[in-house]
Chain A
Amino acid sequence: MHSINILSIKNLKKSYGSKEVLKGLNLDIPEHSIFGFAGKNGAGKTTTMKLVLGLLRPDEGEIYVCDKKVSFGQTETNKYIGYLPDVPEFYPFMTSSEYLQFCGELCGMDESSVKARSSELLELVGLAGETHRIGSFSRGMKQRLGIAQALLNSPRLLICDEPTSALDPIGRKEILDILYAARGQTTIFFSTHILSDIERICTNVAFLEEGVIALQGDMSTVRGTYPGNEYIIETVLDGDADKLVKAFPELKAVNRNTLVCQEDNGKLSQVLRYMVDNGIPFYKIEREAPSLEDVFMKVIK
């Protein structure tokens, strides 16, 4: 099946003064994906998102949202996009439903559909019974209201800038659950430096490093890029680990009685035979698939 790209970025460059943040970024986001955008702090994730929203002027390169070109300033493509900034701030004197009403008017939605959609979204984000003013909201509540306002006009692309970074573990889980629940309605593009969040909900991922995309693709492809399956051998007696390392110098000692054996050197069967022959007892021998973190570390090293 041919899947279209909801967002397409070609050779995007952006500098602040002499600091070059983006150095020719290329990115394609397929429709109906949950796209994780990973990178270190200051790698240029927020800059990329603001460029997509037409809030910043690119030095070079082109951005297409739903096949329409993004222009700096007043961009028409924003009608396809819902945006959640990292720390969303609202007018504190409004209540959440008043704010959504206000947003609905800005989007040009009619009153009855704003009402219906607001109550549906406030239900989704768990703010349905909340009648207090936004000024008294916690960070997590603001984040949830941020998702509700971003989804208000049923955008085809939802852009979330580090939606979980500032939250406690419970708040993080709630936001991830809400995003996961919203996946049927829209394509989600979210940035984060928390890789476990990406592993939890994303279908696709891209790593931003040194102003370019170092690696991108669907999760299984990305994981498979560095086929570094490892076996972890944990011996019972401390001395046995040393004995094994002496016999097989390619084994890596992690601590007193834990060794790591790389799959690709084909030594595992020899190690196992050696252990059986010499009667070396073990607690466990475990195969470990590379985590996203391992891949990320390899990509950015």
Chain B
Amino acid sequence: MVLIIVFVFIGILNPATAKMIPWMFEVMADSFKELGMTVSGMKIDAMTSWTQFFKNIPMALIAFLLIFSNSFTKEYQSGTLVLVLTKGLPRNVVVLAKSLFMLISWTVGYWMCFSITYAYNAYFWDNSIANNLFFSAATWYLFGLLTVCLLILFSVLQNNSGEILLEVGVCVIVGYVLKLIPVTKKFSVLTLADTAALLAGTAKPDSYIMAIVISLVLDCICIGTGVVCMNKKQL
């Protein structure tokens, strides 16, 4: 429920912010003038809104990770998991069922948010000025998907939500560092979250293929390792 609200809110927020920017500048124009600045030639269009979308979606992802960070740990700590396992529920089913639920939630939430922004943008402006729009949205979606898979893996390994989130954070930082180094940039899955150049049309989708393949492989490795580790976990 909280997740639906977050995704819908951000979906509406993007075009709303874009709409509000000129109004905000008008309100503040006087104080700008006092500072000797003048604002002119403000152009608001679908691009402004899409830029907002990719700026705000990380917040939705963080909220998503926070909400699901105790999906496993809560069960370890309260002992509900031990009861169902001793009743005969196979351990790998636990990991796969929870993974499926999280991945579906992310997919539905993300694309719902996207659709809302898309619909408002189409109503107010014209979506066609954004280049590679669906491709950009898909790469960011895959980036989110990978963090969710990492969350699942660390949830199996750790018993504490804080540690889980920290480790997901460390992985993102590692990806970021790899992206900064020119040699490894191509392999960093963090490039999936770089959508500005794609939208502006200065980057080609081809250059993302390596990162997409790597992220999909990592997704499978995370879930697979999660299943193996759960089978070996002492409870």
Contact = CB atoms under 8 A, between A and B. Distances in A.
| A, B assembled together | yes
Contacts of B90: 74
Interface in B198-235: 231-232, 234-235
A228 interface: no
Interface residues of B, number: 17
Given A55-B82, A85-B82, A91-B80, A106 B232 contact: no
Interface stretch (A75-83, A176-184, A199-207): A75-83
* Binding site secondary structure of chain A: loop
Interface residues of A, number: 23
B67 interface: no
B91 interface: yes
A90 B88 CA distance: 16
B235 A55 contact: yes
B84 A106 contact: yes
B88 A79 contact: yes
B79 A87 contact: yes
Given A83-B83, A91-B80, A106 B235 contact: no
Contacts of A85: 79, 82-83
A253 interface: no
A73 B231 contact: yes
Contacts of B79: 85, 87-89
A106 B89 contact: yes
Contact of B80 (A74, A79, A81, A90): A90
B80 A89 contact: yes
A55 B85 contact: yes
* Binding site secondary structure of chain B: helix
Nearest to A82: B86
Contacts of A50: 235
Interface of A: 50, 53, 55-57, 73-74, 78-79, 81, 83, 85, 87-91, 103, 106-108, 149, 153
20 contacts: A55-B82, A55-B86, A55-B235, A56-B235, A57-B232, A57-B234, A73-B231, A73-B232, A74-B90, A74-B91, A83-B86, A85-B79, A85-B83, A89-B83, A90-B83, A103-B87, A106-B87, A106-B88, A106-B89, A149-B87
- Which 10 residue pairs spanning A and B have beta carbons closest together? A89-B78, A106-B87, A55-B235, A83-B86, A89-B79, A56-B234, A106-B89, A73-B231, A89-B80, A103-B87
